[in-house]
């Protein structure tokens, strides 16, 4: 590998993209928890926190951008973004510029959806630490340098 390709590869699988990829994967894990929330105190707490976040302009802007990018279906696109992130991290021999672009786009999307679903992440409590640790270990495990 040439030096330029090595630098691009390290950027594609580095910490800057790794944190949003980990957060996106953790959000997929926590999505099952969100689906299992029936009517009750936990569901009301998520809805209450979401309503408090709607009062902020930055949250509304992130929601508008996410809605425009996903046509109202955020979860399938999150699955695709996480799958692309895993493929970029596993494939060491791919074209470095393309991998960096794919990694950056998927990291941006994962971060955007994590902002949009911030109420779910904050409501997870100590489970968030466990899930983030497991997701981080998985992302680190599949990263080939």
pLDDT, tens digit (0-9, with 9 covering 90-100), for 51-77? 777 778 888 888 888 888 878 787 888
Using N-to-C axis directions, what is the helix angle for 57-70 and 96-116, rounded to 10°? 130
- To which H or E segment does residue 111 belong? helix 96-116
Summarize pLDDT for 78-97 with one digit per residue, the tens.
889 999 998 888 887 888 89
């Amino acid at each position: 590998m040439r030096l330029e390709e090595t630098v691009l590869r390290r950027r594609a699988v580095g910490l800057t993209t790794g944190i949003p990829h980990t957060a996106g994967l953790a959000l997929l894990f926590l999505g099952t928890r969100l689906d299992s929330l029936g009517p009750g105190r936990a569901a009301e707490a998520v809805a209450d926190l979401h309503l408090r976040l709607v009062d902020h302009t930055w949250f509304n802007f992130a929601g508008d951008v996410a809605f425009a990018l996903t046509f109202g279906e955020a979860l399938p696109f999150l699955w695709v973004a996480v799958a692309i992130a895993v493929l970029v991290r596993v494939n060491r021999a791919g074209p470095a510029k393309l991998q960096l672009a794919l990694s950056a786009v998927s990291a941006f999307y994962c971060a955007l959806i994590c902002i949009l679903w911030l109420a779910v992440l904050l409501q997870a409590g100590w489970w968030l630490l466990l899930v983030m640790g497991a997701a981080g270990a998985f992302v680190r495990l599949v990263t080939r340098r």
